[in-house]
Structures are given as structure tokens and as C-alpha cells.
Structure 1
Amino acid sequence: MTRRLHFNAFLFGCGHHGAAWRHPESEVERLADISYYEDLARTAERGCLDAVFFADGHSVRDPAGGGVWFLEPLTALSAVARATEKVGLVATVSSTFYTPFHAARMLASLDHISGGRVGWNVVTSMFDAEARNHGLEAMPPHAERYERAEEFVDVALALWDSWEDGAIVADRRGLFADPDKVHAIDHRGKNFLVDGPLNVPRAPQGMPVLFQAGASEQGRALAVQRAEGIYAVAYDRESAHSYYWDVKERVRREGRDPVGVTIMPGLVTYVGSTMDEARRKKAELDALLPVEQSLRQLSTFVQQDCFEWNLDAPVPALPPLAEFTGPHGRYDTILRIIRKDEPTVRELLGTLAAGGGHATMIGTPESIADEIEDWFGSGAADGFNLMPPLYPHGLDDFVDQVIPVLQRRGSFRTAYETTTLREHLST
């Protein structure tokens, strides 16, 4: 079977650019309107994308600047499931703030509601402000969070398997379910005590598709043991290629088939009929950024005073990574952005505000399709988690302009051939 691309659309407020909500064409007034997300999901479905994906947060970080979460993902996706037919539905559920029974029950219910289209993005959460909304003074240490996450996932998997296929008999003479096919799990672990069975019968997919986004060593370990889809962060093809083959080899050593694990780096795109038009779209959003706040953040990242830098001049020379004494991750990404794109200071601020360290492709439908196929063909990605800088227009541009190019080239499906999310990812 010919290998083909996979795409998820990451639904996030007015878009993934920090100033998206301020753009005159944003739909900021609709963020609490479920029809807004239904429309976005229908657009994704029109493009035959594998899934739409909701992240989640448990605290309000910046009310003035738009750092507010809207609509709990599983609740929202229950409505989206009724407004769509084929596109997958991936929800973030935190293993730190939920219990396995609660999560397994909600996700299995949504899989029934959607006819087998659900995925679970497993996260451990990260901010102390979130912890204090759940009875904790601070987030548990990183190692403890991942230890809990591993047990959490194991319990959820056992609960989904507590009903065998064909357990429901529905014999009106007196037998609803075959007792021999419904099992307690009797879990007694360090973090959880769960008798089971789940009080939702076996879901259409058996269990939701597991996604995970782990860059740390423990995150990668959890991903290679359990995940069927992995969200990755890579600004350029070189870093994406390194991550891709490291994870695929770990999956192989775990005794799993690497082909069955779909790796999808985040992708920010600005699509125009010409390169100048695409750059103009980025510039319009970049111009809406609060400059002082953005420069203060950049100064923290590079450990220099950036306030004297000329916004419309190239970024001044920065020390190499080996000489940098601060946190290396974000600084390495900034060096990669400068090396790849040669941006002005203003353009760098905009790139960091739209997806941070995720890949950014600016150009025509054909040039962006070329870049996507280059990553795909060189073994840097199985597909991408789309992060449009401005909703709904950025998703419309990708679906209506880039997807047809990839379809004509045979790199992406022209119609859904399957019904469940797991099947979408395998074709």
C-alpha cells in the first residue's frame, strides 16, 4: 500500500498566533459558540483530514492578552461529533487531574456517540496555577507525574477491555449481558484503586486511539510504549528527522511495529497566491503583537536586552548554542529559526508567537506542498498537526488550496475510505 500523509487540525481559539484574536477577520466573538467549532470541524472533514484536536488548560493565565480557555474538550466534541460524520475527534485529558475511571468512561461514551472516531491526547499538565485549581499547592515533580500517567493509562486500557466483544446479548427473555464476558479489573496500584468493570460497554474502536506529545526522556518512553499517534515539535527538517528516527527505533525495540505509530510535528502555514501575499498575511498578524511584551519575552529566551534592537532589521548575531548558559531548548529553536529564515526582529517575534518552535511554512500552495512532501519523503514526519495562525481563514486556506495539490500528486486521500479514527491513521 502506498504511504500517504496524515493531518490533524489543532483547534485553538482564534488561531495559534498570539495576536490572532485581535485580527479584524478573527471570530473572537464566537469562542463560546459551539457552532464555531462545528464549522471548523466540518472544514477539516471537507479536506478529509484525519482528525481535529483540542488541547486543554486548567487555569486562566492572561485575561487581558487572551490566555483564557474556552469549552471543555470532551463536552465540545460531543456536539462536534453530531455535526460531522467521518473526521476523528481527539481530546486532551490530564492524567494529573482526572481519575482513570472518569476519563475512561467519558472517552468511551464519546467513542459510542461518534461511531468510533475518538482519540485521547495523554498529558500530565505542567503549571502550578492549574494544580491549585485541583487541590494541590504545586504540580508534582516531573518523574511522579509520568509515573502516575503510566499507571493511569494502564488502568484505562484495562477498563476498556473489561467488556469483551459481543458481551451484550440483549435477550429480552432475561439476559442483557453475558457475565462471562464482563470482568472486574481489581487494580491495586501506587496511585489508583479501581475495581471495574467500566460501566460503559465496549466502544466501537475497542478503545480510543492514544496520542501523546512527549519530548522529555520520560515523555518519549510513555509515547513509545502506548501511543499510536505522537505530536512532535520540530522547527526544521533536520531536528524533525532526528526525533522521528529516534522514536521509531525506540518503538521497534519495544516490540511494536513502527509503522503503526504516526508521528505528526506541529505545522504553522501562511498560504498566498504569491510568496509576497503569504508574507503579507504573516506581517498583518505580527503587527498586532504587543511589542514591549514580546521583546521582554525574547530577552528572557536569549538572555540579552533586546529592547534596543531595530524591529525591521535582521536579528543581531547571537552566541552559538555551546556558549549559551541559559535553557538550551528554546534558544536552540531561535537559532534554527534565524538560520533557516533569516528574519527581521519583528518577523522572529511573530514566528515565536505563532506556534513557538513548530515548523513554519510560508508560500504558495505548491511551495508549501513541496516542503510537506520533502519532510514526508525524507523520513522526518508521517504527517502534521496543523496549527493555523488565524482561524477560520488559515484552515480554509490549507484545506482549499494546499490539500488539492497534495491530492493531485497522490500524497493524500481524496475521500475517506474508512470510518474510525484508528482506520484513518492506518490508510
Structure 2
Amino acid sequence: MSHARHVVLNVNVLNLGIHTGSWQRSSEPPTAFADPNYYVRMARLAERGALDALFLADGPALRDHPALRPSQALEPSVILASVAAETEHLGVIGTLSSTFNDPVELAARLLSLDILSGGRFAWNVVTTYSPAAGGNFGLADYPDRSTRYRRAAEFVDVVLALWRDAGTGRGVDHRGEFFTVVGSLALGPSPQGHPLLVQAGGSPQGRDLAGRVADAVFSAELDLGAGIEHYRYVKDAAQAHGRGRADVKILPGLITTIGSSRAEAERRYDEQNALLPENHDLERLSQVLGEDLAALPLDEPVPDRLLGDVADPAKFAASLGFRESVVRLIESGGLTLRQAVREFSGAGHRVVVGSPVDVADTIERWFLAGAADGFNLMPDVFPDGLEVFVDEVVPILRARGLFRTHYAESTLRERFTGTATPTERRVLAGT
């Protein structure tokens, strides 16, 4: 099977599952999210299915009240060091914010992890849109979107410059808007040259950053048409920056609730939702759309005034990418508020509730239609939500010629890009 025909499949290990009530249904103890061995167990399960990578999110602030859901508490690069040491092939992808880190320290920490893993690490770059995180870092005035993305672009360029310089003795001399860096890391290159870059963010600035530097994009499109548009947009941006369209992989999030039949999966889904406080998902949708929806009638269409363009994108507190995806889904389906809440499912990514064949059909349809190069899988509950994917969905994808039977590459770069060494990316002035 040619490299180009492999669907990319990462598993996003969020708490004990993407569903808020997952900790009440998992066979793992509710505090497993604070145990490095829990992530090692999930990684070994993913490696059993020859999945591409284990993906960790990060939020440098408390999101959910602990009484609602015990929250991920361990810093991602620490967890991934444990995972890398206990696996042979599985890639490890960590989310770290450009807003709340220093580029020199982060470049050294992540290159160290890449070397430790034998060239299996990727950094998911985010700018962090949570004002609560700003409070944790003493920011009285949270930077607006434009400032965060300008800082992120320069931050990435500094990190790339330090990684490319590692072991050469040349040194970096960067003097920009946000950073002045003169010197070198006390590290050599990793087996894959340096870590891969993943970008998560659907704003125009985020998509441009992805086109310029990313090896992969974690996207949030909810319907096929939007997926195709986003796929073309980012690939076009990569081409505009002198890169190949295949240089950046588009990986939407895919939430799965799997049963032996569609009816069984629906029962599982309804049982999970019964564990949630009343209006939980409605409150989450309110956060995404930027307005309290509690007073609106559930069985009438979502008002047009909530679906138009954001008046001032620079001051919009939530994710523009999530909002755009949800608005597109509501408008294309003419959804009532109740239907929108169910489709949104409190998480902002495409949801498949069905049999293993249903899940495989969605993956194949998006892949062949040019809407995705693969997916970041988000099982409802760990470990059984991942087990059923590995044991029942992966064999279907293999039978259809869409997924590998074994690992053939030694580094994550070779697996994602088909090349052993990094290609040059266009950097901003000042680097």
C-alpha cells in the first residue's frame, strides 16, 4: 500500500473520555487522569492497532468544576515522556501554548522529548483563547486574537530556528516584535531532524499559520461540505507559501460512540447523556456561539442573529473555528436548537454514534471526498471506546485498503510526510 493511501489515525486521550460523564462509566478509577500509567495503558492499546500517535490536549486553567468532571491535571510533555519510554512505534503529540510559554525553554523541552522518543514527537501549537488561563499567568488584560497570533507566528519561527540550529554551532540571532534570542540550544538534532508541527485553530490567522509551517492540522469541521472547503483552504495556503499540498495533513476531530449495532450505540449515547446536569450541552453551545441560549425555545430554529458574522472577531472570547463549524452545521441542516445541541454534543467535533461499519464509512467517505487525510479520534469513554475501535473498526479499514497492517517507519516524520528529514519553511522577517 502506498504511503499516500494511509488514513492517519491519532487518538486524543482526554481525561477518561471526551464525554463529560466518562469517569462515571469507565473501568478505570476516576483519578486515573493523574496516573502516568493510565496514559501508557491507552498508548499500548493504540499501538496494538498500529495507530499513528497519541495526542494530548492542554489547558493551563481549570475548565470544569471537579464535581462535574475530574480534569486532566498532569502537564502533557511529562505524560508523553512516560508514554514514549514505554512504547516503540506510536507517535506522541503534545499541545503547548505559545501565549504562556517561553520559546527557548519550550524548544529545549520539546526537542529533548523528541530525542528521547527516537523522533516520534510533534508539537500542537495553540494560542489559548481562555481568559481564565490569563489570570493564572497574571495577565490583567488578556491579549486579543490578533496579538496572540502575531506572537504565535514569531514564537514558532524562533523555535524552528533553534531546532534547525541544534548541533550546528552556527547560533541564532533573532530580534523581533516579541522576542530577542541570541544563542543556541545545548542539544543536537533528533532522528527526525526536529519535532513535527501541528496546528489547532480555525480562524483565518490560524489557517494561514498552518499553511506556512504545519505538518498537520487538528480541525473541527462538522459536516462534509465544510470539511472539503477547509481542506482546500489550508492546502491552498500551503501552496501559496511555496509548499506542496501533501506537506500538511488535515485531521478533523472525530467523536465516537460505538455499539454492535446502531441501536446499541444510541442506547449507550443516551445513557451517557443521562449522567449530565440539565442543560449541560446547551451551556457549552452557548459558550461557542457567544450568547446565553437558555431562554430560547428548544424546538424552534436557531435565530438568524446568532448565526451571522461576529461583530468584532478580535474581541470574541471563544474559538472562531468552533463557532464557524457549528454555525455551518446549523444553517446547512436548518436545525432547531434541540437538534443543534444534540449534534454539537458539548464538544465541538463531528460525532458518530453507530456500529463499527458506520464509523469506518464516515472515515472512508471523508478521506475519499478530500475532506480529511485522517482523524484525531476522540472515544467517548476509555478504555472500551478505544478497544472497540482498535478491535473492530481498524480491521474494516484494513480490509478496505485504507490503513496499515503494521508500522513500517521509524519516525513520526516518515509516517506523516514520507520523508526522513524536515523541509525548509518560510519564516517571518526578523528570524
Select the residue among 365, 381, 385 that pairs with 1:374. 365
Q: CA RMSD in A?
A: 2.6
Match of 1:189 in 2: 176
Match of 1:399 in 2: 390
TM-score (norm 1): 0.87
C-alpha offsets along residues 192-225 of structure 1, whole Å, 9 cap, x if unaligned? 1212211111122111000001211111111110
C-alpha offsets along residues 355-381 of structure 1, whole Å, 9 cap, x if unaligned? 22x111122212221221111001010
State the alpha-carbon separation in 1 of the partners of residues 306 and 26 from structure 2.
43
Q: 1:398 to 1:24 in 2, by over 3 A?
A: closer
State the alpha-carbon separation in 1 of the partners of residues 293 and 346 from structure 2.
22
State the alpha-carbon separation in 2 of the partners of residues 354 and 88 from structure 1.
28
Task: Determine whether 1:213 maps to 2:200.
Answer: yes
SS of equivalent residue, structure 1 residue 195: strand
Match of 1:291 in 2: 278
Select the residue among 347, 351, 365 that pairs with 1:355. 347
Alpha-carbon contact 1:118-1:209 (below 8 Å) kept: yes
Of 131-140 and 152-161, deviating more is 131-140
Match of 1:36 in 2: 38
Task: Determine whether 1:136 maps to 2:139.
Answer: yes
Select the residue among 162, 165, 170 that pairs with 1:162. 165
Task: Determine whether 1:420 maps to 2:411.
Answer: yes
Deviation for aligned residue 1:319? 4.6
State the alpha-carbon separation in 2 of the partners of residues 229 and 129 from structure 1.
28
Deviation for aligned residue 1:231? 0.6
State the alpha-carbon separation in 1 of the partners of residues 295 and 305 from structure 2.
24
Match of 1:270 in 2: 257
SS of equivalent residue, structure 1 residue 230: strand
State the alpha-carbon separation in 2 of the partners of residues 344 and 127 from structure 1.
25
Alpha-carbon contact 1:272-1:363 (below 8 Å) kept: yes
Q: Which has the larger radius of gyration?
A: 1
State the alpha-carbon separation in 2 of the partners of residues 83 and 390 from structure 1.
22
Alpha-carbon contact 1:90-1:119 (below 8 Å) kept: yes
Of 99-108 and 298-307, deviating more is 298-307
Alpha-carbon contact 1:268-1:388 (below 8 Å) kept: yes
State the alpha-carbon separation in 2 of the partners of residues 270 and 340 from structure 1.
22
User: Equivalent residues in 2 for 1:284-323 (5 A)?
Assistant: 284-298=271-285, 301=289, 316-319=299-302, 321=304
Deviation for aligned residue 1:131? 1.2
Match of 1:100 in 2: 103
Alpha-carbon contact 1:14-1:21 (below 8 Å) kept: yes
Q: 1:36 to 1:411 in 2, by over 3 A?
A: same
Q: Which runs of 5+ in 1 are unaligned?
A: 165-180, 310-314
State the alpha-carbon separation in 2 of the partners of residues 159 and 305 from structure 1.
47
Alpha-carbon contact 1:321-1:331 (below 8 Å) kept: no
SS of equivalent residue, structure 1 residue 212: strand
State the alpha-carbon separation in 1 of the partners of residues 334 and 355 from structure 2.
16
State the alpha-carbon separation in 2 of the partners of residues 92 and 353 from structure 1.
23
SS of equivalent residue, structure 1 residue 194: strand
Q: Which runs of 5+ in 2 are unaligned?
A: 311-319, 419-431
Alpha-carbon contact 2:301-2:335 (below 8 Å) kept: no
Select the residue among 147, 150, 171 that pairs with 2:150. 147
Deviation for aligned residue 1:412? 0.4
SS of equivalent residue, structure 1 residue 291: coil
State the alpha-carbon separation in 2 of the partners of residues 60 and 304 from structure 1.
21
Deviation for aligned residue 1:304? 7.9
Deviation for aligned residue 1:284? 1.3
C-alpha offsets along residues 285-341 of structure 1, whole Å, 9 cap, x if unaligned? 1111111444455567596865796xxxxx623056478468596486267269669
Deviation for aligned residue 1:23? 2.5
User: Equivalent residues in 2 for 1:119-134 (5 A)?
Assistant: 119-134=122-137
Of 191-200 and 374-383, deviating more is 191-200
State the alpha-carbon separation in 2 of the partners of residues 49 and 279 from structure 1.
26
- Quick one: which amino acid aligns to residue 139 of structure 1? Y
State the alpha-carbon separation in 2 of the partners of residues 144 and 326 from structure 1.
21
State the alpha-carbon separation in 2 of the partners of residues 193 and 257 from structure 1.
31
- Quick one: which amino acid aligns to residue 153 of structure 1? V
- Quick one: which amino acid aligns to residue 259 of structure 1? A
SS of equivalent residue, structure 2 residue 379: coil
SS of equivalent residue, structure 1 residue 186: strand
- Quick one: which amino acid aligns to residue 194 of structure 1? V
Alpha-carbon contact 2:302-2:337 (below 8 Å) kept: no
- Quick one: which amino acid aligns to residue 42 of structure 1? R
Match of 1:389 in 2: 380
Deviation for aligned residue 1:396? 1.1
- Quick one: which amino acid aligns to residue 13 of structure 2? L
- Quick one: which amino acid aligns to residue 317 of structure 1? E
- Quick one: which amino acid aligns to residue 159 of structure 1? L
Deviation for aligned residue 1:343? 9.1
Alpha-carbon contact 1:162-1:185 (below 8 Å) kept: yes
Match of 1:3 in 2: 5
Select the residue among 80, 91, 107 that pairs with 2:83. 80
Q: 1:340 to 1:225 in 2, by over 3 A?
A: same
- Quick one: which amino acid aligns to residue 10 of structure 1? N
SS of equivalent residue, structure 1 residue 373: helix
SS of equivalent residue, structure 2 residue 165: coil
Q: 1:132 to 1:256 in 2, by over 3 A?
A: same
Q: 1:188 to 1:36 in 2, by over 3 A?
A: same
State the alpha-carbon separation in 1 of the partners of residues 237 and 175 from structure 2.
29
State the alpha-carbon separation in 2 of the partners of residues 303 and 148 from structure 1.
28
Between the aligned residues of both structures, percent identity stands at: 40
C-alpha offsets along residues 397-418 of structure 1, whole Å, 9 cap, x if unaligned? 1111101100111100010000
State the alpha-carbon separation in 1 of the partners of residues 337 and 264 from structure 2.
17
Deviation for aligned residue 1:99? 1.0
Select the residue among 198, 201, 219 that pairs with 2:185. 198
Q: 1:159 to 1:303 in 2, by over 3 A?
A: closer
Q: 1:257 to 1:335 in 2, by over 3 A?
A: closer
Alpha-carbon contact 2:217-2:251 (below 8 Å) kept: yes
